[in-house]
Copies of this chain bind each other. A is one copy, B any other.
Amino acid sequence: MARKKPLYGNADEIEAAFYDAICRADIITLMSLWAEDEEIVCIHPGAPRLFGHAAIRESWEKIFAAGGLHLRATRVHQTHNMLSAMHNVIEVATTTPTAGDSPRVDEGDVHILATNVYAKTAQGWRIVAHHASFAPGTPAPEPERSALLH
């Protein structure tokens, strides 16, 4: 029971909890956000796909052991219905600075795109897919239309 987290009421809440858990290197919370389904998929930028809790957990543990990530989801575009939501975001990443290092901000030569897919389950909203990848250059400016829609 101790590992049960509060029900997340919508995809926005679970997305916020996801990036917050990454920033805090909180593997327990991070893994509790995923659906209880061995077909859940996680793709880190430039890496092979990973399925299921064990492989996904191991990948994040390695990231956290290497110093962690400060990741923020920006410029969210989404489609949703009552049972699912697809968010496409630009991840702004700053690795945790270590002695003397400058934070590395992933905006410049490349940026990171992520498609996050959420589903409403008996346990509340959960992550079913996180697919992140590199795109060239700086993100294109958002059209005015999007600013109005969100």
Interface residues, chain A, CB within 8 Å of chain B?
Answer: 35, 37-41, 43, 45-49, 51, 77-79, 81-84, 86, 88, 113, 115, 117, 119-120, 128-129, 131, 133-137, 139-140, 145-146, 149
Q: Given that A79-B37, A113-B43 are known contacts, is A88 also in contact with B49, CB under 8 Å in the complex?
A: yes
Is A137 in contact with B83, judged by CB distance below 8 angstroms? no
Q: How far is the CA of A128 from the CA of B145 in the complex (A)?
A: 19
**Copy count, this protein chain:** 2
Is A119 in contact with B78, judged by CB distance below 8 angstroms? no
Q: Smallest distance from the beta carbon of A121 to chain B beta carbons, Å?
A: 8
Q: How far is the CA of A145 from the CA of B55 in the complex (A)?
A: 14
Is B113 in contact with A79, judged by CB distance below 8 angstroms? no
